[in-house]
Amino acid sequence: DEKAVAVLGLGAMGTALAEAFLAAGRPTTVWNRTPAKAQALAARGAVAPPTLTDAVRASRLVVVCLLDHASVHEALDPVADELAGRVLVNLTNGTPSQARELASWAAGHGAELLDGGIMAVPPMIGTPAAFVLYSGPQGAFDAHRGALDALGESVYVGSDHGQAALRDLALLSGMYGMYMGVMQAFALTRGEVPATEFAPMLRRWLTGMGVLVDSTAAQLDSGDYVTGVVSNLAMQTAAYPNFLAVAQEQGVRPDFIAPLYPLMQRRVADGFGHEDVTGVIDLLRIDENQK
Ligand code: NDP
């Protein structure tokens, strides 16, 4: 059946993926190392064969969503010979080099790889809020896009297999950096301001400051970190010790907020106090930082 899809891995995410394929009317075969997790999906119409070999044989499109890169090899290595002629879609979190490694491993067994990054949490899968990044052969993406669109918006980012993982990890790094700030803000106010009272203010501020993403991008691409500066680095660097001081006053660790300060100070000392904070990005390059 050309519409069929197999889903390997039924954790929180794999289960959501299988549910979305079923909801889209795709004949769906599922497999999980711990078989009990397939039961609820089987009751909803998925086929749950007893072995991984049977699951792989059920479909030309094989979606895998396991814990990490090592678990993908642990599961797939024993059935590698079954993959010939199939398209493997790896939605397991991993690095660009892991994606490229899996692509050449798959090619060695006659399979094509699309490596993906899921930009959603499980409840978002199958809704317009979800987007999934894919990289690998364009032909494989075009052929299976119709099926993959059941998961969310499918975003193709290039034939180099590492490109989806690079974007995925960069987006998640941005999220965790933001979340460190959110945690610091709650830690500072905790006990003095109810968190639910403070939350709308924090969300409003972070949402408003989202424009930084675009102004920073424009400055990076032009190499001009001065045009349009409204909050110059010297001013920001003068205020920054207050974030460390208030942490101490409130009895909160400064660890999340501290590392940026010496980089800002270095840029000011190097004569860039009139610029935006953008130049700190140049200092993050390891070759620059070791000078
Ligand atoms: P879970 O912890 O819920 O599930 C992990 C899955 O991996 C289970 O099916 C588990 O099988 C399987 N597994 C682990 N080790 C092995 C192994 N050695 N061999 C075979 N199967 C193995 O994780 P999620 O489903 O939440 O996440 C899956 C992937 O999706 C991860 O890479 C994650 O980073 C990514 N992701 C998750 C998001 C989320 O919010 N949940 C968001 C975006 C991406 P078993 O049941 O037998 O233990």
Residue range 224-248, pLDDT digits in tens: 999 989 999 999 999 999 999 999 9
Residue intervals of the chain classified under CATH 1.10.1040.10 are: 167-289
Instruction: Tell which CATH classification among 3.40.190.10, 3.40.1360.10, 3.40.50.720, 3.30.830.10 matches the domain 5-159.
Output: 3.40.50.720
| Ligand 1 neighbourhood includes 33 CB (under 6 angstroms) | yes
Using the predicted structure, report yes or no on whether residue 43 has a pLDDT greater than 90. yes
Atom of ligand 1 nearest to the CA of 33: 47
Distances from the Cα of 41 to the Cα of 9, 31, 92, 166, 190, angstroms: 12, 10, 20, 32, 42
How many CA atoms lie within 13 Å of 204's alpha carbon, on the beta-carbon side? 5
pTM, rounded to two decimals? 0.95
Q: How far is the CA of 19 from the centre of ligand 1 (A)?
A: 15
Question: For the structural domain made of 167-289, what CATH number should be given?
Answer: 1.10.1040.10
Q: What mean pLDDT is predicted for residues 239-268?
A: 98
Q: Buried b / exposed e across 76-114, counting CB within 10 Å, b at 16+?
A: beebbebbeebbbbbbbbbebebbbbbbebbeebebbbb
For ligand 1, say whether the CB of 222 is within 6 Å of any of its atoms.
no
